[in-house]
Amino acid sequence: MYDIAIIGAGIAGSYIARELSRYQLDIVLLDGENDVGNQITMANSAIIHAGFDAPSYKLKGKFNAVGNIMYEKVCDDLDVPFKRCGSLVVAHDEYEMATIHELYQNGLKNGVPGLRILFREEVHAMEPNLNEDICGALYAPSAGIVSPFELCANVAENAIDNGVTLKLNHMVTAIDKDDDCFKITTSAGNIEAKFVINAAGLFADDIYALVGDPYFKLLARKGNYFIFDKDAGSLVNNVIFPCPSKNGKGILVSPTVHGNLLIGPDAAPVEKGDISTTGDRLDYIKANALKNCPTLPFKKIIRSYAGLRNTPVADTYTTTDGDFILEESPVKGFINVAGYESPGLSSIPAVAHYVVEEIVKPLIPDIEVNHDFNPKIRPHVRFTELSDEERAEIIKKDPKYGKVICRCETITEGEILDVIHRNAGARTVKSVKKRCRAGMGRCQGGFCSPRVVEILARELNCSLDEIMYDQQDSAYILAGETKSAKEEA
Amino acid sequence: MIYDIVILGGGPAGLSAAVQAKKDGVENILILERDRELGGILNQCIHNGFGLHTFNEELTGPEYAARYIKQVVDLGIPYLLDTMVLDMTDHGETKIIHVINEESGYMTIETRSAILTMGCRERTSGAIGIPGYRPSGVFTAGTAQRFINMEGYMPGKEVVILGSGDIGLIMARRMTLEGAHVNAVCELMPYSNGLVRNIVQCLNDYDIPLKLSHTITFIHGKDRIEGVTVAQVDDKLKVIPGTDEFIPCDTLLLSVGLIPENEITVNAGVEMDNRTNGSIVGELRQTTMPGVFACGNVVHVHDLVDFVSEEAVLAGKGAAKYVKGTLDTNVTFTTANGDGIGYVVPQQVAMKNVEENVTFYMRVRQVFENKVVNAYIGDQLIATKKEKKLLPAEMVNFKIAKEVLEKYPAGEIRFVVEEAQK
């Protein structure tokens, strides 16, 4: 029997697993998908918000700025690309300037460092490609950009390094409570644990309903995004937010940590699991992004995608103020980490610490520190970031770093092999792409995907048609051998 | 050691350029190829139809490549395989090329002259932003071609193809021959973007419907593609409401255009032409950076490999002249695309380098019937090219004799589509 089972290996579940591994506990991290961080964590704005939006009385307000400040250390330990690029909330008129002043005051309450209100000239000096109408902005130097999928993969890897068991393709279908033990039925066998942490993202309400009377409900809200080629990556230096309205933060324009440009997201309620992009919504995003950034080069778009937020909503049996749900539920020993939407990614270092220290620890009085805990993962080789001398040296040590597989992003076979063979390693074409960017570039895997399929098949000792693009079994890439190949055989 | 010419790419353009430069007496030539063999994309083009203009016979892609590889080997031109060029930097008299491979690791190669022959890549579903899911089973036609012809695996069994580019048409036939069912080829434009012979031999002969003025408005299927919604578009390319049709499929192939791969070119500081997405070149394919030449699909997308080889001969000659110090750098003419013409290559002509004539390659913007392409310098009509039909898919080769051009001291040669003189 495990001490703790965590349901959901997105950023919340994976990060909490890693924080729990600082203690001597038997921990299992479960996910129904075939990779960690494969849903909400995978498709979002990738921004580490400064923390001036949420009111200070909410958990969102309490944890965002604190989580943000922890990011340098976190990304250093976990070897994740992170850049504190700053953000601007821009105003087009005096009404919007009034909102900017309110955000500034709220930011001060939340402890956001370095906030400043900028006037027209300063804004345009800082960001020459913004609309000339913009008359001022709230500047938050602490806002940052991160690679959320690398963060999730690396924090899961670190959790496993420190003793956590990861079980993918384990879809939870039933939970029974029996005295001091939770019996969890999954699509791949049963698991027992003394405590459960429900970090199932969009499905956290459904998971809780397996064990207790529902007291919260989650709504999927979809956001569409566009990614631009690296050619367009330097159009803005800061994350550019429009002035927020009652509909949310609005359409942002942001550099990405890998040097691309991103615009989005809209927000529309949808069925859980609907991550289809929508034609008219994409047009809406383009039109709104142009209001702040009139020279967006739409010809340079290399991908559009949609992601989901999990927003707590009121219904007949619940009331909500839309805050994170971080608590031991009415079912003793069952902890909910739910409604974990923006600024969830920004807050997670602080939230994980809170969940472990303030919620889990009081439940386990005899908890002992894991003195072998190592917060660092083995650093990645990122070939493009090496000097010429370092390149020569690494290829001499391992010739696989001399073979470029992804031309657009210059990703070598050595880097792909490394992400396959690490803990929480890549098993699909998409999971390779998330971890080391092979296929993320302008040709979108046109040239490298056959090579990546080949490498995965070789390393996992299976045939090419057994390699999946994404989800287990249903996202196959190849439909068997050709007639000619069979005849030759 | 300093090379005379280094060629970036061992596909048809690189091979032909190397052979020509060697024949013109250049000794120290090196070909750099990122793939595991010479021949470039021809290796996966196992259908025939290559070489009709060059060799007067129908060869498969690998056979066509083999003819040039044999010449490269016979002439003793060295090449490096599995070798990736990371960067090229200009140092005036020489260029430094930064490369890596497994065997030698990281190297810098110094050369007096470089010929850029990196080819092109396919436009992706991301670039055209089709709404819907992002499942597996959506391939560019060339990626599917590689899986089938090089790896021996089928991408799927029930196929829809978006775009009527030549690779898409070739793959419609190839997948049919391998036992798949191709439901339709949808083309946004009211005309095909492929060669007429490919429409006939790859679609009509196999009863595969070509839906002109049709596009895909939604991709269905969360994990693996399950179908597409196809709709008709009007003359402004906007979807006509009520024309939606669901076509079930497990595979969507895209053949929606090719883009020259010029990252090295741009980083090196070579001047580009946004009409071709290639570099600005002269009659011997010299770029605006002295000593750097470019030819083949990296300059502009060709529809026949024969013309790639032909253009590469010019680059080979040009680089040889440069190395020997006999390349003239005084530009006599520039070229311009007038009404009906999308682009013209070369963009510049230095008359002292011209032997007998200059061939101008260009594409028309739309389908024209019973029209001609006229070339003007100022108000003077200097040459006319007659074609029964002008199609955007078929590159126009407009040859103008040296004697005709020599009559003019300088100026702009403008190409326009006009009514034929009665």
DSSP state letters, B44-56: G--SEEE-HHHHS
Provide the Cα torsion A260, A264, A269, A272; round to 10°: 0
DSSP labels, A380-398: PP-GGGS-HHHHHHHHHH-
pLDDT tens digits along B153-196:
999 999 999 999 999 999 999 999 999 999 999 999 999 989 99
Quote the pLDDT of residue B122.
95
Domain boundary among B293, B327, B361: B327
Residues B214 and B263 in one domain: no
Given a cut of 70, whether residue B275 has pLDDT beyond it is yes
Given a cut of 90, whether residue A38 has pLDDT beyond it is yes
SS3 (DSSP) at A157: helix
Output the domain CATH number for residue B191. Answer: 3.50.50.60
Residues B61 and B128 in one domain: no
A82 bridge partner residues: A146
What is the predicted ipTM?
0.93
Q: Which of residues 21-60 of B touch A (CB under 8 A)?
A: 34
Residues A356 and A420 in one domain: no
Backbone angles phi, psi at A280, to 5 degrees: -70, -30
Closest to B130 in 3D by CA, of B162, B159, B153: B162
Domain boundary among B327, B351, B380: B327
Backbone angles phi, psi at A437, to 5 degrees: 75, 10
Contacts of A216 (CB under 8 A, 6+ apart): A205, A208, A312, A318, A320, A325, A336, A338, A339
Provide the Cα torsion B338, B339, B342, B346; round to 10°: -20
Residues B267 and B251 in one domain: no
Reported confidence tier of residue A445, pLDDT bands at 50, 70, 90: very high
**What is the C-alpha separation between A256 and A237, in angstroms, rounded?**
10
* Angle (nearest 5°) at CA B35 between B33 and B38: 60
Residues A388 and A273 in one domain: no
Positive or negative, the CA dihedral A270, A273, A278, A284 is positive
pLDDT tens digits along B102-150:
999 999 999 999 999 999 999 998 888 899 999 999 999 999 999 999 9
CB nearest to A474's CB, from B132, B178, B224: B224
Quote the pLDDT of residue A30.
98
Closest to A49 in 3D by CA, of A125, A123, A103, A105: A103
What are the C-alpha distances in Å from B221 to residues A35, A388, A431, B301? Answer: 19, 45, 19, 33
Quote the pLDDT of residue A319.
66
**What is the C-alpha separation between A483 and B173, in angstroms, rounded?**
14
Given a cut of 90, whether residue A368 has pLDDT beyond it is yes
Domain boundary among A351, A379, A407: A379
pLDDT tens digits along A403-415:
999 999 999 999 9
Q: Is B217 close to A305, i.e. CB distance below 8 A?
A: no
Whether A313 maps to a domain, the answer reads no
| Neighboring chain A residues of B142 at a CB cutoff of 8 Å | 446
Could you confirm whether A258 is annotated as catalytic?
A: no
Given a cut of 60, whether residue B284 has pLDDT beyond it is yes
**What is the C-alpha separation between A107 and A68, in angstroms, rounded?**
13
Q: What is the mean pLDDT of residues B382-404?
A: 95
What are the C-alpha distances in Å from B108 to residues A397, B5, B95? Answer: 19, 14, 10
Phi-psi bin for A153: left (phi > 0), alpha (psi -120 to 50), beta? alpha
Output the domain CATH number for residue A68. Answer: 3.50.50.60
| Residue from A226, A404, A462 to probe the interface with B (highest B Cβ count within 10 Å) | A404
Counted domains in chain B: 3
**CA atoms in the 13 A half-sphere facing the CB of A314:** 4
- Give how far B166 is from chain A: nearest CA, Å: 17
Residues B237 and B140 in one domain: yes
Residues B131 and B240 in one domain: yes
Quote the pLDDT of residue A308.
95
Contacts of A299 (CB under 8 A, 6+ apart): none
Residues A192 and A45 in one domain: yes
Residues B304 and B375 in one domain: no
B243 bridge partner residues: none
Q: Which two tokens stand for residue B277?
A: 């997405």
Provide the residue range defining the domain that includes A464: 383-488
Residues B333 and B323 in one domain: no
**What is the C-alpha separation between A294 and A271, in angstroms, rounded?**
33
Scanning B75-129, the segments in alpha helix (DSSP H) are 125-128
Residues A88 and A20 in one domain: no
Greater confidence (A487 vs B5) lies with: B5
Reported confidence tier of residue B422, pLDDT bands at 50, 70, 90: low
Phi-psi bin for A71: left (phi > 0), alpha (psi -120 to 50), beta? alpha
Residues A140 and A152 in one domain: no
Counted domains in chain A: 3
Quote the pLDDT of residue A316.
62
SS3 (DSSP) at B365: coil
Residues A269 and A353 in one domain: no
Nearest residue in A to B143, CA atom: A446
Between A179-183, A236-240, A473-477, B227-231, the lowest mean confidence (pLDDT) is in: A473-477
What amino acid occupies position A92? H
| Neighboring chain B residues of A396 at a CB cutoff of 8 Å | 105
Which secondary-structure segment (H or E) carries B122? strand B120-122
**What is the C-alpha separation between A80 and A46, in angstroms, rounded?**
12
Quote the pLDDT of residue B230.
98
Reported confidence tier of residue A317, pLDDT bands at 50, 70, 90: low
Strands A136-140 and A87-91: antiparallel
Quote the pLDDT of residue A298.
93
**What is the C-alpha separation between A350 and A70, in angstroms, rounded?**
8
Whether A327 maps to a domain, the answer reads yes
As a whole number, the mean pLDDT across chain B is 96
Residues A178 and A256 in one domain: no
Contacts of B275 (CB under 8 A, 6+ apart): B337, B342, B343
Residues B322 and B364 in one domain: no
Quote the pLDDT of residue A473.
74
Residues A44 and A167 in one domain: yes
Whether A298 maps to a domain, the answer reads yes
Output the domain CATH number for residue A128. Answer: 3.30.9.10
Only one residue has tokens 């770029």, namely B287
| Neighboring chain B residues of A477 at a CB cutoff of 8 Å | 136-137, 155
- Give how far B86 is from chain A: nearest CA, Å: 8
SS3 (DSSP) at B348: strand
Whether A253 maps to a domain, the answer reads yes
Q: What is the mean pLDDT of residues B381-394?
A: 93
Q: How many CB pairs under 8 A join A and B?
A: 153
SS3 (DSSP) at A226: strand
Quote the pLDDT of residue A320.
73
Based on its alpha-carbon atoms, the radius of gyration of chain A, rounded to whole angstroms, reads: 23
Scanning B153-304, the segments in alpha helix (DSSP H) are 166-177, 196-198, 263-268
Residues B97 and B38 in one domain: yes
Output the domain CATH number for residue B361. Answer: 2.60.40
- Give how far B222 is from chain A: nearest CA, Å: 8
Whether A311 maps to a domain, the answer reads no
DSSP labels, B213-236: TEEEEEEE-SSB--EEEEEEB-TT
Whether A449 maps to a domain, the answer reads yes
Q: Is B34 close to A449, i.e. CB distance below 8 A?
A: no
Reported confidence tier of residue A321, pLDDT bands at 50, 70, 90: confident
pLDDT tens digits along B23-59:
999 999 999 999 999 999 999 999 999 999 999 999 9
Q: Is B154 close to A482, i.e. CB distance below 8 A?
A: yes
As a whole number, the mean pLDDT across chain A is 95
Residue A45, burial from CB neighbour count under 10 angstroms (0-12, 13-18, 19+):
buried
Residues B244 and B318 in one domain: no
DSSP labels, A421-475: HSTT---SHHHHHHHH-TT-STTTTTTTHHHHHHHHHHHTTS-GGG-BSSSTTTS
Based on its alpha-carbon atoms, the radius of gyration of chain B, rounded to whole angstroms, reads: 22
Residues B275 and B237 in one domain: no
For residue B309, the 8-state DSSP code is H
Number of C-beta neighbours around residue A373 at 10 A: 16
Whether A312 maps to a domain, the answer reads no
Residues A360 and A274 in one domain: no
Q: Is A403 close to B222, i.e. CB distance below 8 A?
A: no
Provide the residue range defining the domain that includes B268: 1-120+259-327
**What is the C-alpha separation between B63 and B59, in angstroms, rounded?**
6
Residues A287 and A418 in one domain: no
Quote the pLDDT of residue A5.
98
Domain boundary among A253, A274, A306: A306
Positive or negative, the CA dihedral A17, A20, A21, A22 is positive
DSSP labels, B2-62: EEEEEEE--SHHHHHHHHHHHHTT---EEEE-SSSSTTGGGGG--SEEE-HHHHSS-EEHH
Between A415-424, A452-461, B383-392, the lowest mean confidence (pLDDT) is in: B383-392
Q: Is B131 close to A396, i.e. CB distance below 8 A?
A: no
Contacts of B92 (CB under 8 A, 6+ apart): none
Contacts of B392 (CB under 8 A, 6+ apart): B189, B191, B193, B342, B363, B364, B365, B366, B367
Strands B245-248 and B251-254: unpaired
C-alpha A379: how far from its chain's center? 20
Between A200-204, A273-277, B11-15, the lowest mean confidence (pLDDT) is in: A273-277
Only one residue has tokens 């080391």, namely A436
Reported confidence tier of residue A179, pLDDT bands at 50, 70, 90: confident
Q: Which two tokens stand for residue B163?
A: 């775009």
What amino acid occupies position A335? I
Q: Which of residues 71-130 of B touch A (CB under 8 A)?
A: 82, 84, 86, 98, 100-106, 108, 121-122, 124-127, 129
Given a cut of 70, whether residue A318 has pLDDT beyond it is no
Residues A252 and A266 in one domain: yes
* Cis bond before residue A343 (omega within 30° of 0): yes
Residues A462 and A401 in one domain: yes
- Give how far A451 is from chain B: nearest CA, Å: 10
Whether A359 maps to a domain, the answer reads yes
Given a cut of 70, whether residue B414 has pLDDT beyond it is yes
Quote the pLDDT of residue B126.
83
Q: What is the mean pLDDT of residues A249-274?
A: 94
Domain boundary among A249, A277, A306: A306
Q: Is B105 close to A483, i.e. CB distance below 8 A?
A: no
Scanning A111-179, the segments in alpha helix (DSSP H) are 120-126, 148-161
Quote the pLDDT of residue A278.
86
